[in-house]
Structure 1
Amino acid sequence: MAVHQNPMWENFLSPMVRFLIDEEKWRRYADSIDWEKQSDRLRQPDVIIPSYYDSQNFHGVEGGYLNPQAAVSYDPITQYVLLPNETVVRQALIDAVKVQPRRILDLGCGTGSTTLMLKQAFPQAEVIGLDLSPYMLVRAEDKARRAGLDIRWRHGNAEKTNFRDGAFDLVTASLLFHEIPSVVCQAILRESFRLLVAGGQILVLDGNQKTLHQLDWLNDIFEEPYIREYAAGNLAANISAVGFAAVQTQDVWWVNQVNSGVKPISSTDVNAQKKVQQYNPISIDSTIDNNDLEDFGSPVFGITA
């Protein structure tokens, strides 16, 4: 597949961003890290990079997220293009959490901006950030270390994470779905449903599909090869289609949206929860080993360690 070229990015947005950011600062940061050595430490050899991911440019970076330049440039660019304010937009996902999460998985975590906020909001929870790019994970790990946050970073594909069924209370994805084909979105939603305990919640923060569809010219500004496909879809309907209930869409400053869904609780699940609550008090260990996450009851029952 040919790499998509975006003259709008080269002629308009890229020069504007270069004017706003301190390029020298970020160049020094890039030079301070041995990207290949650190990415090799995180890279999992069994992770197969899909063709939709390694055959496109993203955000004007040749090779997309499989280029360490993307890991360096993502944060300074995003702070200006995620309107009206990056922290405000990401906080909308945090505010939409309705469960009491003890295990959180952030899919397509990128440089970990939302992942860090999740850990800050739920400090007692085990938080895992998963991404296809080991370079993005190097940047995320460095940010977490500087913030003093204990977060697990995992190289992997959100379509097939290899975690156990029902391993998490909360699964999130921020600014991921507009960067992947719709068929991949659906596969990730199915995987999220499998990963959640009954009563667990999925939260997806991304661009507002109605706005992107109505203002098609916006899709020409950013080098996003799949954004039109995303804009033409209906994420709420897709979430419902894989089995989630109580699906909601919340507009965030007109240009973004947060979608939420809950994995339904069956009568069998309710009875199991009562037994767990009465006879099996749970303690949360501080380590995650070989993806072998312990089983937890549903967070909607408020079971605490």
Structure 2
Amino acid sequence: MVIRQKTIWENFLSPVVRFFIDEEKLQRYADSIDWKKESDRLWRNDVIIPDYYSSRNFHGIEGGYLNFGAAVSYDPITQYVLPPNETVVRQALIDAVKVKPRRILDLGCGTGSTTLMLKQAFPQAEVIGLDLSPYMLVRAADKARTANLDIIWRHGNAEKTSYQDTCFDLVTASLLFHETPTVVSQTILRESFRLLVAGGQVLILDGNQNTLRSLDWLNNVFEEPYIRDYAAGNLDANMGAAGFEAVQTQDVWWINQVTSGIKPIPVTNTATQKQVRQYTPTSIDNNDLEDLGSPVFGIKA
């Protein structure tokens, strides 16, 4: 019989993190919610849970995210694995927004940490958080109520959201791509392209691929099932393959990165053509995007 070896998380990281966590407080919170009732309310029968998601452990959490324990423990764990500070890292995505969004879709929103920040940054926008785990959405909804933020939470798959074409100005994903196989992340990028209006922006916050490639021991520490495939990939190239232009990646405190892409505006006349040609990785100035006449900015081309 093969004896399972304890992981790095179990041997070293979990005891350290647990030292800083008030487990009794977390247990009281867990006991205060009827997780079955609340998750059943959000669960959509038309959503098929993919095997890559339901059969793996994430963040050292046994059984993945399809249980209330994952929803309760996610935030306490995440705050210690995003140096120098979780809020600072997530704020990098907010700071990279160059459009004026009316509708925002946050894919793989989890417990809604970035989703809440998006609503705070763009209070007039309709903000939707979408995730495969209704348990994570229950936690997200509770956080939104506490913060008095009006956010729509939807159970769904980022690969196939069921939303209509061109109905969002901004699509985001935080810490999602390293938790999905490469073929899935490419499908999510194509879906993001379909959902965005012309001139709309996609933003992906995740681990720094250059850092993860050069320091492979970090992949052992994080113990994510798909992180090596993610590290070996090139998000810029994948965005380009999905149709995005003006693709740019910026480092976030060495261990993370934010990648931005723009859905190009179709060329309809000579004047527009001259503007669209600005959408190249070598000449784009993200601070001047309002001149492009996109519906995102409330300007009719």
Structure-1-length-normalised TM-score: 0.88
Tell me how far apart the structure 2 counterparts of residues 235 and 101 of structure 1 sit (CA, whole Å): 23
Q: How many residues align?
A: 277
Please list every run of 5 or more consecutive structure 2 residues that lacks an aligned counterpart in the other structure. 273-292
1:182 aligns with 2:182: yes
Among residues 274, 298, 301, which one is paired with 2:294 in the alignment?
Answer: 298
In the TM superposition, residue 301 of structure 1 has moved relative to its aligned partner by 4.1
The 5 A counterparts of 1:205-224 are 205-224=205-224
Moved more, 85-94 or 59-68: 59-68
Deviation digits for residues 130-188 of structure 1, max 9, x if unmatched?
Answer: 00000000000000000000000000000000000000000000000000000000000
Question: Could you tell me which amino acid in structure 1 is paired with residue 178 of structure 2?
Answer: H
CA contact (8 A) 1:101 1:299 kept: no
In the TM superposition, residue 63 of structure 1 has moved relative to its aligned partner by 1.1
Percent identity, aligned pairs only, is 79
Structure 1 runs, 4 residues or longer, greater than 2 Å off: 267-272, 297-304
Which residue is 1:290 aligned to?
none
Task: Quickly say closer, same or farther: Cα 1:267–1:70, change in 2 above 3 A.
Answer: same
Task: Quickly say closer, same or farther: Cα 1:269–1:165, change in 2 above 3 A.
Answer: farther
Tell me how far apart the structure 1 counterparts of residues 78 and 180 of structure 2 sit (CA, whole Å): 18
In the TM superposition, residue 251 of structure 1 has moved relative to its aligned partner by 0.3
Secondary structure of the 1:82 match is coil
The 5 A counterparts of 1:1-305 are 7-268=7-268, 298-303=294-299
In the TM superposition, residue 80 of structure 1 has moved relative to its aligned partner by 1.1
Task: Quickly say closer, same or farther: Cα 1:201–1:237, change in 2 above 3 A.
Answer: same
In the TM superposition, residue 58 of structure 1 has moved relative to its aligned partner by 1.0
Moved more, 104-113 or 56-65: 56-65
Tell me how far apart the structure 2 counterparts of residues 270 and 95 of structure 1 sit (CA, whole Å): 33
Secondary structure of the 1:169 match is strand
Tell me how far apart the structure 1 counterparts of residues 248 and 259 of structure 2 sit (CA, whole Å): 6
In the TM superposition, residue 267 of structure 1 has moved relative to its aligned partner by 2.5
Question: Could you tell me which amino acid in structure 2 is paired with residue 70 of structure 1?
Answer: A
Deviation digits for residues 72-98 of structure 1, max 9, x if unmatched?
Answer: 000011111111100000000000000
Tell me how far apart the structure 2 counterparts of residues 139 and 255 of structure 1 sit (CA, whole Å): 27
Which residue is 2:276 aligned to?
none
Question: Could you tell me which amino acid in structure 1 is paired with residue 161 of structure 2?
Answer: T
Question: Could you tell me which amino acid in structure 1 is paired with residue 140 of structure 2?
Answer: A
Tell me how far apart the structure 1 counterparts of residues 269 and 163 of structure 2 sit (CA, whole Å): 20
Tell me how far apart the structure 1 counterparts of residues 81 and 41 of structure 2 sit (CA, whole Å): 31
Secondary structure of the 2:191 match is helix
Question: Could you tell me which amino acid in structure 2 is paired with residue 153 of structure 1?
Answer: W
CA contact (8 A) 1:166 1:194 kept: yes
Question: Could you tell me which amino acid in structure 2 is paired with residue 62 of structure 1?
Answer: E
In the TM superposition, residue 62 of structure 1 has moved relative to its aligned partner by 1.7
CA RMSD, 1 decimal: 1.8
Question: Could you tell me which amino acid in structure 1 is paired with residue 90 of structure 2?
Answer: R
CA contact (8 A) 1:165 1:194 kept: yes
Structure-2-length-normalised TM-score: 0.89
In the TM superposition, residue 299 of structure 1 has moved relative to its aligned partner by 4.0
Question: Could you tell me which amino acid in structure 1 is paired with residue 55 of structure 2?
Answer: S
In the TM superposition, residue 59 of structure 1 has moved relative to its aligned partner by 1.5
Which residue is 1:275 aligned to?
none
CA contact (8 A) 1:203 1:260 kept: yes
CA contact (8 A) 2:177 2:206 kept: yes
Task: Quickly say closer, same or farther: Cα 1:270–1:70, change in 2 above 3 A.
Answer: farther
CA contact (8 A) 1:5 1:57 kept: no
